[in-house]
Chain A
Amino acid sequence: MKVAYIFASQRHTVSYVLGRMILPQLEAKRHGVEVVGMFFFEDNNYVLVDGDVIGQRLKKVAEEQNILLMGCDQCCYEREIADRLIPGVPIGCFPDLYGALATNMPDQVITL
């Protein structure tokens, strides 16, 4: 099964759910499903800033396992980080997300 994650809430989502659960499982290749994409809203976008510790690990796994990473453009502009993200990680909105996933559509989209 293919899934995409949308990080929308501000409830310890990145440092805990992503950083301590999803990411270690992906690194160990035992997450249980194929993750095709991750989209980040609000403050969750800070993980995509170049140099972020979790972001660096996430980028490595994303490259190895063909996972799309994308930050919400308006959220990134608001935080003045749109031009400071990890190289290769784009900003965009829903049309960009769906377009990027069009050739590798998830079976489920899970909002965290």
Chain B
Amino acid sequence: MEIPVTTTLWAKDCIERGLKNNRLDALPLAGAPIQAASGLSARFSASLTSACIEELRFQCSSCATLIAYCQALVDLLSPALEDRPRPPSLAVLIASVEGVPPYRHDRAAIALGAYRALYFNLQQKLEHP
């Protein structure tokens, strides 16, 4: 299921929730960590029930913007977790979070790459149980 650009989140709200959620322990199914040349990194993890995602979490570097984008992904995807949502496009993720200056949009790519890594592992697990 593709996430449409109908949800708008504010960076400051995502940072507020993300700072807390970033400290939660990783869940059993984790994607490979993604690290950018800047040194910033992110990783998503999930818990599963049957073939559905029950919960989504992330751990990332302590960059406010990166935390905001990781939390935004959780916010965008959580309503549809049971459908195993495909990663949104980079443009969708960037458009969904208001208040981020353009030169910080690269953090969205890190967050998205991390979710894609989890999604890949999820697909592998379902195809080869």
Contact = CB atoms under 8 A, between A and B. Distances in A.
Interface residues of A, number: 11
Contacts of B65: 73, 77
Given A73-B65, A93-B63, A82 B101 contact: yes
Interface in A46-99: 73-74, 77-78, 80, 82-83, 85, 90-91, 93
A80 B58 CA distance: 24
A73 B104 CA distance: 10
Contacts of A93: 62-64
Q: Is the interface of B mostly helix, strand, loop or mixed?
A: helix
A77 B64 contact: yes
Interface string B91-121: 0000000011111100000000000000000
Given A73-B64, A77-B64, A90 B12 contact: no
Interface of A: 73-74, 77-78, 80, 82-83, 85, 90-91, 93
18 contacts: A73-B63, A73-B65, A74-B15, A74-B64, A77-B11, A77-B68, A77-B99, A78-B15, A80-B10, A80-B99, A82-B11, A82-B99, A82-B100, A82-B104, A90-B103, A91-B104, A93-B62, A93-B63
